[in-house]
Amino acid sequence: QIDEYLKSMKQEEIFRKQFEGIFCNQMICTNGCRHRYEGEEKFMALNVAVKVDSLNESLNQFVKGELLDGNL
């Protein structure tokens, strides 16, 4: 909300500049075809697992690949 206010006052946004990230979602077909999907989404916060030993482990789980079965 602070950044929105600053933007409306024609001032530089401070939080977005420091804390905004880009999440990349990637899907790759593994059955021999060459279909591929990539999408980017901006974020200000990530939801990660808290029932692990460290932040590094949480982040590793967040970016871990996942094999999906079926048609997309």
Q: How many CB atoms lie within 10 A of CB 60?
A: 13
Q: By percentage, how much of the chain surpasses pLDDT 70?
A: 96
- Which residue ranges make up each domain of the chain? 2-63
What is the C-alpha to C-alpha distance for residues 31 and 26, in angstroms, rounded to an integer? 16
pLDDT of res. 38: 92
Structure tokens that stand for 11 in this block: 């001032």
**What pTM was computed for the model?**
0.57
Q: Which of 14-18, 31-35, 48-52, 56-60 has the highest mean pLDDT?
A: 56-60
What is the C-alpha to C-alpha distance for residues 52 and 16, in angstroms, rounded to an integer? 28
Query: With bands split at pLDDT 50, 70 and 90, how would you rate the model's confidence at 70?
Result: low
Is residue 10 predicted with pLDDT exceeding 90?
yes
- 42-55 confidence digits (pLDDT tens): 998 888 888 889 99
